[in-house]
Amino acid sequence: MRGPHNILRLIRTGATLERTGAMGVVMDAMDAPPLVRGTMRFLAWPFQWLGYRGDPGMPPATRALTALGPAYIKFGQILSTRPDLVGEDLATQLRVLQDKLPPFPVEVAKQSVEDQLGQPVEAVFDEFSAPVAAASIAQVHRARLRETGEAVAVKVLRPGIEKAFRKDINAFYFAAKMIEFLSPASRRLRPTDVIAHFEGVVMGELDLRLEASSASEFAANTSDDEGFALPQINWGLSGRRVMTMGWADGVPLGDNAALDAAGHDRVALGERVLQLFLSHALRDGYFHADMHQGNLKVAPSGEIIAYDFGIMGHIDEYTRKVYAEILYGFIKRDYQRVAEVHFEAGYVPADRDVDEFARALRAVGEPIFGMDASHISMGNLLSYLFEVTERFGMETRTELILLQRTMVVVEGVARSLSPQINIWQVARPVVEAYIRKNIGPHAAVRDLQKTLAVLARYGPRLPGIVENALIRQSMPVVTQPSGGRLVPFLWALGGAGAGAAVTLAAIWIG
């Protein structure tokens, strides 16, 4: 429930950060101003006895987030990919949240497998190992199929995970409502919609049948991508709480020492991760939205292997074009065009000044060019970009949340492999290829042909559409001096007539 009792959950969050010593660590990593530090400590200190103790053997931040539960662990996973934001030490500490959390007993996992598959584990697998990876929602076991001898990975949901997530999400909803009530200016960021989006993503992760379906679709889209591979799903041994897939042999992408020892080129790997993500997002509109190091390996052949498809992002064709034009404008340093695209897409209210917005974007973009990533303060850059969005009344676009979040994560992964990488230089060939194919005269002709083809299918229905429009509009209403329903009538009639004209043109062109 989303009632005031969630205040206790939020108080306990701050209390846990204070009790475990994570509050100071987080404030230091984020370089929080003294006023923010003092306020947070003042609010949390009296209640620290309510905080969870956590595992004293863990570093403070990891200890706190692990104690607070899976929703908080998700945030920690994102931060673990951004050493440029939180510092190398904290990012390294948080990396254990990706796949090295405390596992649940193997006997419990076997029971879940038996319940899901309807037969004993021994009847299906010759071997079934202890957990080899444990994350916030599930853990993975290595097994061997009795029938074929194939090595597979068996993913099993944590017991009670649905209830744990629901508790956290309810608290987040309450916090979002309070923020909107206490700070009207925050409503443009649509915090409640953001939490609703997060809830939808998480609920999808809690049904492994949906993850298997996502993996299958993703594999079909990326089958021709050079240097990229996915494990194959075993549908017969998968269900809501259990998923079986081929075993992926390789070096974890987050282990730089192992990558170097295996002779892999980390600079090339960092560039490939970025380009693969952009290619999937722009070309397919369907991308892996949880591409942190814990979900990526490098095969002996040098291929990047992705797994864990619980969070996948989707953007429609129009949004892809908008996103590509914005990226391309930044790459070309054409800030006027970037500003115009924002206005055309409705991302910025129409009553704002497009030229002024272009100048503000220039202040965001110019520091990036001519510098390597190690000299760019992403924290300052994101802070200024936030100020720009607030100044021009831009609202949060919930359809772009996963895209923006994944862009941040993937950039962090790439920088952990190659600190000098420049996201704009690496992105340029992918974005330019998309622009050439999908924006311009040839693309306009192709889009028009698609539109005409759709309209042509309605050709036989057009007389009926026009007749129904005429019947719905009574003659007395049409002749009313005040106009009455005349405008809707003319719109309907004009729309039908335009449809007929376009359909005739389509037939003529064909």
Higher pLDDT, 320 or 454: 320
For residue 467, the enclosing domain spans 444-509
**365 and 497 part of one domain:** no
**222 and 278 part of one domain:** no
- Catalytic one among 290, 308, 316, 351? 290
Lowest-confidence segment of 121-135, 426-440, 491-505 by average pLDDT? 491-505
Kindly state whether residue 369 falls inside one of the protein's structural domains: yes
Kindly state whether residue 315 falls inside one of the protein's structural domains: yes
Examine the pLDDT at 151 and tell me if it is beyond 90.
Answer: yes
Higher pLDDT, 368 or 438: 438
Kindly state whether residue 277 falls inside one of the protein's structural domains: yes
Q: Which of 220, 247, 274 is a domain's end point?
A: 247
**40 and 141 part of one domain:** no
- For β-strands 251-252 and 228-229, DSSP reports them as unpaired
Q: Which of 230, 262, 264 is nearest to 247 (CA)?
A: 230
**479 and 411 part of one domain:** no
Mean pLDDT over 234-255 rounds to 93
Mean pLDDT over 382-391 rounds to 64
**346 and 399 part of one domain:** yes
Identify any residues that bridge with 233 across adjacent strands, giving them in sequence order.
245
Please report the pLDDT score of residue 483 as a whole number.
40
Mean pLDDT over 45-71 rounds to 83
Kindly state whether residue 210 falls inside one of the protein's structural domains: yes
Please report the pLDDT score of residue 502 as a whole number.
32
Q: How far is CA 444 from CA 333, 339, 439, in A?
A: 24, 22, 7
**59 and 106 part of one domain:** no
Q: Residues of the chain with pLDDT > 90: what percent? A: 29
Q: Which of 385, 405, 439 is a domain's end point?
A: 439
Please report the pLDDT score of residue 491 as a whole number.
31
89 is catalytic: no
Please report the pLDDT score of residue 38 as a whole number.
74
Kindly state whether residue 467 falls inside one of the protein's structural domains: yes
* pLDDT, tens digit (0-9, with 9 covering 90-100), for 166-186: 878 887 788 777 777 776 766
Q: Which of 247, 271, 303 is a domain's end point?
A: 247
**281 and 423 part of one domain:** yes
Q: Provide the pLDDT confidence category of residue 494 given band limits of 50, 70 and 90.
A: very low
* pLDDT, tens digit (0-9, with 9 covering 90-100), for 342-380: 888 888 888 899 999 999 888 877 876 656 555 655 545
**426 and 285 part of one domain:** yes
Taking a C-beta distance cutoff of 8 angstroms, is the pair 156, 113 a contact?
Answer: yes
Kindly state whether residue 146 falls inside one of the protein's structural domains: yes
Q: Residues of the chain with pLDDT > 70: what percent? A: 77
* DSSP states of 234-292: EGGG--SSEEEEE---SEETT-HHHHHHTT--HHHHHHHHHHHHHHIIIIISEEES--S
Q: Provide the pLDDT confidence category of residue 442 given band limits of 50, 70 and 90.
A: low
**66 and 112 part of one domain:** no
What own/partner pairs with CB < 8 Å and gap ≥ 24 does 348-354 have? 348/392, 348/393, 348/394, 349/392, 349/393, 352/392, 352/393
**130 and 156 part of one domain:** yes
User: Could you give the maximum distance between any two Cα atoms of the chain, in Å?
Assistant: 85
Looking at the 3D structure of the chain, how many domains does it have?
Answer: 4
**428 and 329 part of one domain:** yes
Q: Please return the burial class of 64, using the count of CB atoms within 10 Å of its CB with bins 0-12, 13-18 and 19+.
A: buried
Please report the pLDDT score of residue 504 as a whole number.
28
Kindly state whether residue 1 falls inside one of the protein's structural domains: no
Please report the pLDDT score of residue 272 as a whole number.
95
**235 and 297 part of one domain:** no
Kindly state whether residue 220 falls inside one of the protein's structural domains: yes
